[in-house]
Amino acid sequence: MYQFTEEIISKYSVIGPRYTSYPTAPIWHEIDRKTQNNWLESNAGSERAISLYIHIPFCRERCLYCGCNVVVTRQQKASSEYVPYLLREIESIAKVRQRNRVIKQIHFGGGTPNFLLNSEIEQIMNHIKDRFELNTDTEIGIEIDPCSTHPQLLDFLSGIGFNRLSLGVQDINETVQRAVNRIQSKETTYEHLVAARQAGFKGINFDLIYGLPFQTLQSFRETVDEVIRMRPDRLAVYNFGYLPDRMIHQRKIKPETLPNPATKLEILLDTINRFSEAGYNYIGMDHFSLPDDELSVAQKNRTLYRNFMGYTPKSGMDLYGIGMTAISEFDRYFIQNEKKLKGYKDAVDSESLSGSRGLKLSDDDQRRKWTIMKLICHFYLDFDEFQKTFEQRFTDYFADEFSNLKELEEDGLIEIHSDSIVVKNIGQILVRNICMIFDAYLMKQDTPPVKYSKTI
Ligand SMILES: C[S@@+](CC[C@H](N)C(=O)[O-])C[C@H]1O[C@@H](n2cnc3c(N)ncnc32)[C@H](O)[C@@H]1O
Ligand code: SF4
C-alpha cells in the first residue's frame, strides 16, 4: 500500500523531468548532417545489438488531449509518400553498421502506425530483414489505435513477425471519451486484446491517461476495475499533459472540466494501489506489469532500461530512430531527427539522414546518466558496480549529492547502505525527485527554461 502524508506531498510536489533520457532533450543542441554522420561512423565498430524505432506520424483524426507530434490527414497517399523515406534512412543506417550485428528489438510508434497499409508495413519489415540479422526472440512491437482498425490486423501482423503490442485506451468512461473526441467502446478494446492473445502477442500494454476532463475518483476507478478484469500484461498510466498555449487543439478542452490537482493526486494514488492489489508490479514512472511479464522479470534481474519508448526489458543496445522526430541513442550520443514532415523529407532527399538536434555526452554526463538509469529502472544502485564501470568511488564522485540524499533518507524515500542505495516504497513513486539530485543541468544558469510536469 502506497501512502503519503500531506507534508511529503507538499514538499516533493515540484516540477521535474521524466528522464526518458539524461541529459534531457532540451539540453541538446542543433547538429548538422556531417556531425550526425561522424557520430554514426564512430559507432560502426560497436558490437552491441540494435534496437530500431520507426516513427509513423499520421492519424486520421486528432484526439483533443493528444500531446504527440502527429500529422492529421485522411489521405492514404500520405503514407505511400512517407515510406520510401523510411526505407532510405534504414539503408543509411545499414551502411554504417558492423556486419552480423543482430536486431533485438523493432518498435513501430506514432502517431498511429496502423495508418500504414498492410503492404507498407510488410515492405518496411522486408527491407529491415534484408539488411539486418533478426533472432527468433527479436521483439517486434507496434502501437495500435483500436478505433481506427479491426482485430484481424493482429493476425496479419503476427504472420509477419510482430509479437508485442500496445493499445491506446485512455479512459473507458463515455463522458470523458466524448469530451476528448476519442470514442472507443470497451468491447472494441477487449476484442483487440483477445485477438492479440490468440495471435500469440506477448507483453500486451494498455495506455491510460489520468487528469482528463470530467474524470472523477469514482469514474477512473471504474475504468481501472474494467481494465483489471481484462488483465493486459502491462499498463502505462500517463498524467495528462495539458499545454493549451502550445497545442491549439487542446484549447477545445476547457480547464474548468479538468479534475483539480487534489483529485488528480487521489486518482493517481488510488490507481497505483488498485493495480498493486490486483497483482501488478509497479515498475516505476507510470508503468505496471504482471509478475510474469518480461518487464517485471527484467526489473527483478536488474536488466530493465528506460528510453524514449518508456521501459524496455532489454538493455545494452544501440537505438536507431527512423522517421520524422525519431530519436537515436548509442554510445555517448543522442540524435533527434527533423521534427516537421517537410523538413524531414527535405533532409532525407538531400542527405539520406535527417538528424537535426543531438548531444555528445561528456564523461560527467555519462556518470550521471548511469546513476539516474539505475535508480529509475531498478530502484537500486550498487556502489561497487559504479566503481567497476568508471574506476571512481561513487561516494567520492558524488560527495555533494550524497549529502543531499540524507534528507530523502530521513523522509523515508531511500535507504543508504554502506554499499548501495535502495529506493523505498514512497520513493518509488517519487523517483524523479531522487534522480533530480543527480541532474547537473537543473540548477545551471545557462540551461534553457523548460516546462516540465509535476513529479506528483
Ligand atoms: C503516440 S500515442 C500512440 C497510440 C495510438 N495513436 C492511440 O492513440 O491509440 C501514445 C500514447 O500517448 C499518450 N498521450 C498522448 N497525448 C498525451 C497527453 N497529452 N498527456 C498524456 N499522455 C498522452 C496516450 O496514452 C497514447 O496512447
Ligand atoms: S492519441 Fe493516438 S490516435 Fe489520438 S491523435 Fe494522438 S497519436 Fe493520434
Question: Confidence band (pLDDT; 50, 70, 90) for 315?
Answer: confident
What does the block give as the cell for 129? 530483414
298/311 Cα distance (integer angstroms): 10
At 129, is the secondary structure helix, strand, or coil? helix
Q: Which helix (H) or strand (E) holds 167?
A: strand 164-170
pLDDT for residue 449: 62
Residue nearest to atom 6 of ligand 2 (CA): 66
In the predicted model, what is the mean pLDDT of residues 299-310? Answer: 91
Q: To the nearest whole percent, how much of the chain has pLDDT over 90?
A: 85
Residue nearest to atom 7 of ligand 2 (CA): 111
97/40 Cα distance (integer angstroms): 9
Residue of 447, 297, 444, 312 whose CA lies nearest to 373? 312
How does DSSP classify residue 316? S
Instruction: Say yes or no to pLDDT of 7 above 90.
Output: no
Cα 33 to averaged position of ligand 1 atoms, centre (Å): 30
**Ligand 2 atom closest to 59 (CA):** 8
pLDDT for residue 450: 66
What does 317-350 look like in DSSP terms, one character per residue? EEEEEESTT-EEEETTEEEEE-SSHHHHHHHHHH
Cα 52 to averaged position of ligand 1 atoms, centre (Å): 20
Measured from the CB, is residue 68 less than 6 Å from ligand 2?
yes
310/70 Cα distance (integer angstroms): 18
Backbone angles phi, psi at 135, to 5 degrees: -95, 170
Q: Are 237 and 267 in contact (CB under 8 A)?
A: no
Ligand nearest to the CA of 235: 1
In the predicted model, what is the mean pLDDT of residues 172-194? Answer: 97
Residue nearest to atom 16 of ligand 1 (CA): 66
Please name each of the domains of the chain with its CATH number.
25-322 (3.80.30.20), 362-454 (1.10.10.920)
Ligand nearest to the CA of 258: 1
Q: What are the pLDDT digits (tens) for 36-45?
A: 999 999 988 8
Residue nearest to atom 14 of ligand 1 (CA): 66
Q: Which helix (H) or strand (E) holds 137?
A: strand 133-144
At 199, is the secondary structure helix, strand, or coil? coil
What does the block give as the cell for 235? 499498463
In the predicted model, what is the mean pLDDT of residues 171-179? Answer: 98
Q: What are the pLDDT digits (tens) for 115-142?
A: 999 999 999 999 999 999 999 999 999 9
329/229 Cα distance (integer angstroms): 37
310: left (phi over 0), alpha (psi -120 to 50) or beta: left
What does the block give as the cell for 276? 498493486
296/302 Cα distance (integer angstroms): 10
Instruction: Say yes or no to pLDDT of 11 above 80.
Output: yes
pLDDT for residue 239: 92
* Total count of residues recorded for the chain: 456
What's the Rg (C-alpha) of the chain? Answer: 22
Q: Are 42 and 34 in contact (CB under 8 A)?
A: no
Q: Are 264 and 213 in contact (CB under 8 A)?
A: no
Measured from the CB, is residue 113 less than 6 Å from ligand 2?
no
pLDDT for residue 189: 97
The vertex-141 CA angle with 431 and 226, nearest 5°, equals 65
The vertex-58 CA angle with 53 and 62, nearest 5°, equals 125
Measured from the CB, is residue 111 less than 6 Å from ligand 2?
yes
Measured from the CB, is residue 302 less than 6 Å from ligand 2?
no
In the predicted model, what is the mean pLDDT of residues 151-174? Answer: 97
Q: What are the pLDDT digits (tens) for 218-274?
A: 999 999 999 999 999 999 999 999 999 999 999 999 999 999 988 998 999 999 999
In the predicted model, what is the mean pLDDT of residues 205-224? Answer: 98
Cα 396 to averaged position of ligand 1 atoms, centre (Å): 42
Measured from the CB, is residue 207 less than 6 Å from ligand 2?
no
pLDDT for residue 276: 95
Question: Confidence band (pLDDT; 50, 70, 90) for 420?
Answer: very high
In the predicted model, what is the mean pLDDT of residues 9-21? Answer: 86
Instruction: Say yes or no to pLDDT of 18 above 80.
Output: yes
Question: Confidence band (pLDDT; 50, 70, 90) for 456?
Answer: low
Question: Confidence band (pLDDT; 50, 70, 90) for 56?
Answer: very high
345/421 Cα distance (integer angstroms): 46
| Contacts (Cβ under 8 Å, ≥6 apart) of 12 | 411, 413, 430, 433, 455, 456
pLDDT for residue 27: 95
Ligand nearest to the CA of 144: 1
| Contacts (Cβ under 8 Å, ≥6 apart) of 113 | 54, 56, 121, 142, 143, 144
User: Across the chain, what does the average pLDDT equal?
Assistant: 94
Question: Confidence band (pLDDT; 50, 70, 90) for 447?
Answer: low
| Contacts (Cβ under 8 Å, ≥6 apart) of 245 | none
| Contacts (Cβ under 8 Å, ≥6 apart) of 189 | 146, 167, 169, 172, 206, 230
> Which protein residues touch ligand 1 with a CB less than 6 Å away?
65-68, 110-112, 143, 145, 168, 170, 207, 209, 238, 240-241
Ligand nearest to the CA of 108: 1
Q: What are the pLDDT digits (tens) for 337-354?
A: 999 999 999 999 998 899
112/242 Cα distance (integer angstroms): 20
304/415 Cα distance (integer angstroms): 21
Cα–Cα distance list, 416 to 40, 48, 124, 367, 406 (Å): 39, 33, 48, 19, 8
